[in-house]
Chain A
Amino acid sequence: MAATTTLEEPTRRDFLYIATAAVGIVGAGAAVWPLISQMSPDASTLAAGSVEVDISGIAVGQILTVKWRGKPIFVSHRTPEEIAAVRAVPMNELKDPATDQSRVEKPEWLVVIGICTHLGCVPLGNEGPYHGFFCPCHGSVYDPSGRIRQGPAPANLVVPPYKFVSDAKISIG
């Protein structure tokens, strides 16, 4: 029994022990990362790029809903009164301060992702005290600039990347 305690043997075993542990940890990491990463959006989802929308048919005061990346996008043709009203709001009245100018390309067109920034329901257009958007799920109220004004949502409706291809067409994404 006592004869097994020599210096050389433990050194050799120590080496194997540390080498095994090191390779094991690297191997486990290399296996875990793909296992986690596979759950992220796949290549075809990422590639589901842009949509073009013809906006010539949207009358003043009307909101069109289109689908982009599985989400509803609101394209709102705002009235002059709405534009004037949202531009007159002082910044200190806003929970998530942003000027209307910073949220639109052209004053009469508001383009936002139609997903409530609270827990993801689709708000109703031309509804609520500001005649902007109202979310029926937990009562968040947005103005015609898509800015959060009341209720539990923490942030303004998100503006997706888009550009005007022509006066009658926008490209989202």
Chain B
Amino acid sequence: MSGESTYVPKNAVAKWFESRLPVLGLAHSSFVVFPNPRNLNYWWTFGGILAFLLVSQIITGVVLAMHYTPESTLAFDSVERIMRDVNFGWLMRYWHANGASMFFIGLYVHILRGMYYGSYKAPREVLWLLGFIIYLLSMATAFMGYVLPWGQMSFWGATVITSLFSAIPVVGDAITTWLWGGYSVDNATLNRFFALHYLLPFMIVGVVGLHIWALHVPGSNNPIGIEPKSAKDTLPFHPYFTVKDGFALTLFLIFYAWFVFYIPNYLGHADNYIEANPLVTPPHIVPEWYYLPFYAILRSVPSKLGGFLAMFGAVLIVAVLPWLDSSKVKSAVYRPLFRIFFWIFVVDAVLLGYIGSQPPEGGAVIAGRLLTAYYFIHFLVILPLLSRFEPTRPLPASISDAVLGDSAKAEPALASH
């Protein structure tokens, strides 16, 4: 499906360059003439939004690093200086801090889009795995970034999450001490987290490159989940999808700007404006919203090692989705039962997030356990059974048949989508 390189350099300089490094041709075939299924909907615009946000995080991050001091006695003050004294420092910091949340909104929409339309299935398993690696790296990056302002939540979040490794039998404590570079989260920890927080986004850029490469081998999946069969099923990337992606990006950025300018601390925690104090734990510590479902799973298991395994298991299980769901029909549009269970799963995950934000008492504990059990049941029982026994609806003959309505075989139910 990769676009044939029809690029013809228009001037002498381009021609000279192209014959030495054919990168213009690569860009042309990947982002100008690249054939996309003509029926892509707005859920397909989040890939572009994520790419934009990644660049935006790197730019604001490098700017913040010019004013930030990764030293435990100075870090908190340096962030306050960024907020009060540095020209537009407040903007850079709010842009970066809220950008992390926007990045995770984008990631979750993008991942759920893939789950709903079966984008993880053959021939896109490697593409899915690369996306999963991006997700892991992003979680590590955001976790370490949140430690940098060295507030109470920074410190205690770092303590609780790194202490998770002490649950590993025998070597756990040694690993934790090694991660800390001391006997508690301290200056050595802050320093290395800063170095890694700077490094990891560039590694994400590298994996994004592979992700796009793996995407451009089979091309994009689409809402009806059947592969393009003829030129009639596709449209060139430019102008059709550049404008669609650009429009969606603009709307998304307005949403983002609303957070930055009107409610910049809405997704944060007031406790993080208190400098880290290793002798006092805040009464209610919670991680950033994007980790809450996994935090709820951690707390639902009444054993230290068990909680550790359940939490990492809940993240890792997403990677093996292509092998848990073997249904040949990709899109939920043609899988009536899968579609219902998909939405139940989404509700389960959102409720887990809510439970993760609440103190672990009474009803919240029991609800957390039930929701945790269902989370795993969805992946390990429901999906494998559905892919064997679910009666699926007949697929249209082709994308153009389904969306252009120029054939008696057009799928009428699609009108509702």
Contacts and interface: CB of A to CB of B under 8 A. Distances in A.
A119 B160 contact: yes
A163 interface: no
A41 B361 contact: no
B307 to A, nearest CB: 7
Given A39-B178, A139-B361, A121 B160 contact: yes
Interface in B283-306: 283-285, 299, 302-305
Interface of A: 36, 39-42, 45, 65, 67, 69-72, 114-115, 118-122, 135-139, 152-154
B332 to A, nearest CB: 37
B132 to A, nearest CB: 26
A45 B307 contact: no
Given A139-B361, A153-B304, A39 B179 contact: yes
Contact of A121 (B159, B181, B182, B307): B159
A72 B371 CA distance: 36
5 closest A-B pairs (Cβ-Cβ)? Answer: A120-B163, A70-B184, A121-B281, A119-B163, A119-B160
A45 B156 contact: no
Interface string B151-181: 0000010011011101000000000011111
Contacts of A122: 279-281
A34 B318 CA distance: 35
A163 B179 CA distance: 30
B88 interface: no
B153 to A, nearest CB: 12
Given A41-B177, A119-B163, A137 B278 contact: no
A67 B159 CA distance: 16
Interface in B307-328: 307
B181 A45 contact: yes
Given A41-B182, A119-B160, A121-B160, 18 more contacts: A40-B178, A41-B177, A45-B188, A70-B182, A71-B278, A72-B278, A119-B304, A120-B160, A121-B156, A121-B159, A121-B281, A121-B285, A136-B284, A137-B281, A138-B360, A152-B303, A152-B304, A154-B303
B80 interface: no
Contacts of B162: 120
Contacts of B278: 67, 70-72
A12 B396 CA distance: 65
A141 B318 CA distance: 35
Contacts of A65: 279
Contacts of A152: 299, 302-304, 307
Contacts of A41: 177, 180-183, 188
A154 B278 CA distance: 22
Given A118-B304, A122-B279, A153-B304, A137 B160 contact: yes
B184 A136 contact: no
A42 B186 CA distance: 12
B269 interface: no
A65 B279 CA distance: 8
B244 interface: no
Contacts of B302: 152
Contacts of B238: none
A71 B183 contact: yes
Nearest to B176: A120
Contacts of A138: 299, 360
B280 to A, nearest CB: 6
B26 to A, nearest CB: 35
A67 B279 contact: yes
B28 interface: no
Given A39-B179, A120-B159, A121-B156, A70 B186 contact: yes
Given A119-B164, A121-B281, A71 B179 contact: no
Nearest to B308: A119
Nearest to B72: A70
B72 to A, nearest CB: 10
Contacts of B304: 118-119, 152-154
A40 B360 contact: no
Nearest to A65: B279
18 contacts: A41-B180, A41-B182, A45-B182, A45-B186, A65-B279, A70-B184, A71-B183, A71-B184, A121-B285, A122-B280, A122-B281, A135-B281, A136-B281, A137-B160, A138-B360, A152-B302, A152-B303, A154-B305
A58 to B, nearest CB: 16
Nearest to A137: B285
Contact of B183 (A45, A114, A119): A45
B113 interface: no
A69 B181 CA distance: 12
B192 interface: yes
Contacts of A120: 159-160, 162-163, 166, 184
Contacts of B181: 39-42, 45
